[in-house]
């Protein structure tokens, strides 16, 4: 391996020498982003520098496997400042380039360097292809949209279509796009990139365009799923971000209905009623949605309220973030009838009523299943029970997808459902990384309170504002403040010798000495007082800077 990299290293050294000795200033001050994808057996390694990135299509979902080196990323911003660099208001490093890492740009070393971020990714039967491209595509198309467009049988055609679309939106000729199929690594696997086809049961919703067409309304023996957002009524009343969050929630659920082969029956408020031709298709949809809800870019108002704040389990894994959705699954043979108003299939009867009551018995973030559903899961997923008469209808794609999520079943026991005479044996099912939800307290939020659904300032945010205030005050006095690193602050003695050769413009010190003391859990009155004090200091520093500038 080392011998194979030696010629490449020699080539890079020669290229760097030629660039540095170039008489043309534009060449000497140029650079480039880069990305390398290396697949060994069924493991993929991705290393990238700059804004070149890669995305994997995992069962129709976009999974980024690289990092865009943006100067405004908090970690990159801290690194740039530590290297004596700065970021201009347009987001340019030293007011020159808009990426924080790159090949070349040797005049900006070490602020801009070529240290890559390296990812390792285990390929599975659900992975279809990898999109490798530069910013020419991502500046105009989101990851998920690119995956939806690229889900074609031929990767070459998919790459051409993405290129044409990017150019149509205004990309220049430097756009580079590669679509690499990885599904053929798993011989005999049933999961392949499904080509999009014309809609036969179009819902008229743009978020599902480019995906598989909606399945025909299931009839006969099928699975019914009811969903509902926890605390949706309270959030609608008190949280201004609920409107945006509801649109994101609906888009996510409808997208994965197409991916998992479900049929949207109707929607009311924060609730969905969906039908599936098989039980495992319904289980796959519920588990996938619960995982993907954690990755949605929820509005800040949702993330900073009591109902949507992030929660981690004992192992430090994220288990709750944003809207919390409860789900209930039941299977049977309901009465089917086309709604004359919506022209869509609707379902009635005791089986539907039982499905609704099962969902009502679940807590936020839980998937409640009837005994019939658990019996099918045990037969096809865990293979711990004999197969049922409907087991042969379960798709291998759904089985593989559920096994990848590593489901965990938690028996609840016999529950008497509201309005039903016969009790039901219920169980909860979780993806393995969300099993910590079973221990969460599902206490309802007090509807009379206001703190549950409004934006709150965190202590970290107030400290950042205070640090900005301190830097402005030092700048207004003609100095640059350099705080001691946190890891060295505790080791620093009471007096630190200053370097006589260092310009006096730089002032070193412990930032905590100049920042207001803040408790870990400040009250609203404490925060308002601190913010008011910082506002006065920032205004005074601004006036001093304007006076220095002659304004």
Q: Is the pLDDT confidence value at 451 over 80?
A: no
- pLDDT, residue 193, reads 45
Residue 135 pLDDT grade (very low, low, confident, very high; cuts 50, 70, 90):
confident
Whole-number pLDDT of residue 20: 66
Q: Compute the chain's Rg from CA coordinates.
A: 28
Beta bridge partners of 336: 347
Residue 40 has pLDDT above 60, yes or no: yes
Q: What is the pLDDT of residues 355-394, one digit of tens each?
A: 999 999 999 999 999 999 999 999 999 999 999 999 999 9
pLDDT digits (tens, 9 = 90+) for 466-499: 888 888 888 888 888 878 776 544 444 444 455 5
Q: How far apart are CA 259 and CA 111, in angstroms?
A: 43
pLDDT number for residue 216: 93
Distance of CA 536 to the CA centre of its chain: 38
Give the confidence band of 22 by pLDDT, cuts at 50, 70, 90. low
pLDDT at 298: 93
Q: What is the dihedral of CA 130, 131, 133, 135, to 10 degrees?
A: -120
Band the pLDDT of 189: cuts 50, 70, 90: very low
Residue 180 has pLDDT above 70, yes or no: yes
Mean pLDDT, rounded, of the chain: 84
Contact 241, 355 (CB under 8 A): no
Q: What is the mean pLDDT of residues 86-98?
A: 90
- Which pLDDT value is given to residue 209? 58
Q: What share of the chain has pLDDT > 90, as a percent?
A: 42
* DSSP-assigned letter for residue 495: -
Q: What are phi and psi of 508, to 5 degrees?
A: -100, 145
Q: β-strand 506-509 against 480-483: which pairing, if any?
A: parallel
| Per-residue confidence (pLDDT) for residue 9, from 0 to 100 | 67
Q: What percent of the chain has pLDDT over 70?
A: 84
For strands 103-104 and 31-32, give the pairing.
antiparallel
pLDDT of residue 200: 41
Of the pLDDT bands very low, low, confident and very high (cuts 50, 70, 90), residue 210 is: low
């Amino acid at each position: 391996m080392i011998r194979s990299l030696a010629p490449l290293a020699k080539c890079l050294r020669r290229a760097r020498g030629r660039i540095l000795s170039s008489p043309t200033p534009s060449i000497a001050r140029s650079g480039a982003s880069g990305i390398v994808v290396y697949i060994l057996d069924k493991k993929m390694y991705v290393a990238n520098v700059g804004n070149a990135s890669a995305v994997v299509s995992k069962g129709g979902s976009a999974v980024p496997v690289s990092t865009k080196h943006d100067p405004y990323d908090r970690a990159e911003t801290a690194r740039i400042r530590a290297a004596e660099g700065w970021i201009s208001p347009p987001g340019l490093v030293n007011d020159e380039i808009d990426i924080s890492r790159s090949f070349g740009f040797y005049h900006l070393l070490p602020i801009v360097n070529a240290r890559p971020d390296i990812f390792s990714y285990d390929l599975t039967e659900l992975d279809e292809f990898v999109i490798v491209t530069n910013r020419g595509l991502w500046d105009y198309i989101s990851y998920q949209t690119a995956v939806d467009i690229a889900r074609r049988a031929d990767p070459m055609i998919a790459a051409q279509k993405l290129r044409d679309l990017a150019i149509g939106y205004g990309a220049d000729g430097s756009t580079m796009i590669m679509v690499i199929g990885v599904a053929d690594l798993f011989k005999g696997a049933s999961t392949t990139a499904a080509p999009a086809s014309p809609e036969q049961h179009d819902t008229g919703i743009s978020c599902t365009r480019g995906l598989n067409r909606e399945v025909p309304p299931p009839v006969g023996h099928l699975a019914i799923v009811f969903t509902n957002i926890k605390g949706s009524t309270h959030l609608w009343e008190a949280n201004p971000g609920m409107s945006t969050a509801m649109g994101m929630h609906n888009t996510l659920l409808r997208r994965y209905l197409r991916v998992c082969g479900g049929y949207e029956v109707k929607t009311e408020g924060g609730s969905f009623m969906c039908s599936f031709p098989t039980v495992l298709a319904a289980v796959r949809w519920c588990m996938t949605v619960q995982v993907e809800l954690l990755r949605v870019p929820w509005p800040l108002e949702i993330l900073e309220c009591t109902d949507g704040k992030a929660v981690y389990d004992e192992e430090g894994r994220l288990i709750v973030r944003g809207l919390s959705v409860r789900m209930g699954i039941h299977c049977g043979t309901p009465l089917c009838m086309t709604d004359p108003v919506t022209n869509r299939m609707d379902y009635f009867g005791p089986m539907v009523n039982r499905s609704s009551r099962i969902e009502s018995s679940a807590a936020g973030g839980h998937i409640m299943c009837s005994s019939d559903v658990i019996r099918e899961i045990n037969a096809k997923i865990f293979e711990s029970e004999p197969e049922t008469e409907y087991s042969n209808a379960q798709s291998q794609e759904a089985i593989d997808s559920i096994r990848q999520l590593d489901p965990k079943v938690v028996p609840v026991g016999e529950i008497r459902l509201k309005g039903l005479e016969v009790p039901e044996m219920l169980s909860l099912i979780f993806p393995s990384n969300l099993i910590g939800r079973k221990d969460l307290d599902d206490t309802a939020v007090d509807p009379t309170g206001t703190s549950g659904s409004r934006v709150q300032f965190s202590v970290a945010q107030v400290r950042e504002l205070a640090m900005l205030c301190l830097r402005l005050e030092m700048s207004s006095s003609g100095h640059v403040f350099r705080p001691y690193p946190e890891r060295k602050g505790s080791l620093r003695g009471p007096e630190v010798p200053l370097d006589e050769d260092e310009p006096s413009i730089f002032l070193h010190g412990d930032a905590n000495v100049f920042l207001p003391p803040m408790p870990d859990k400040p009250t609203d009155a404490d925060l308002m007082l601190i913010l008011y004090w910082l506002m006065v200091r920032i205004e005074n520093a601004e006036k001093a800077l304007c006076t220095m500038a002659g304004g």
